[in-house]
Amino acid sequence: MTAGRVTLSTRAIERTFGALAAEELGVPASSSSVDLHDERGSLAVSVSAPVALGRGTVLEAAQAARQRVLTDGPALTGAAIANARIRVRSLHDVEPRRVR
């Protein structure tokens, strides 16, 4: 290992991207799942997550999540990202569950 350089595990990188996207989508980081692929030496990131309503439109939130991964992803992980895709899976439960 080179001195002064931190290598993150794939799992940690995935979690970071997932958390970035989840924040923009208004959902818990644990609800997102991330797939990494190689694209000519750089990373192609696909994040799949639900979305919560109430922060602009679903498409705006998804686009924001994508931008967030593209801009903050490399800064936080040191990985070069060639491409990011966001797949919005379903609607996140917004109303708190009623206790019965």
Contact residues: other proteins, CB under 8 A? 50-51, 53, 56-60, 62-63, 66, 83-91
Minimum separation from the CB atom of position 8 to other proteins (A): 23
Minimum separation from the CB atom of position 49 to other proteins (A): 11
Q: Could you give the CA distance from residue 47 to residue 32 in angstroms, rounded to a whole number? A: 7
One-letter amino acid at 98 equals R
Coil vs helix vs strand at 97: coil
Q: 4 or 96, CB closer to other proteins? A: 96
Minimum separation from the CB atom of position 3 to other proteins (A): 37
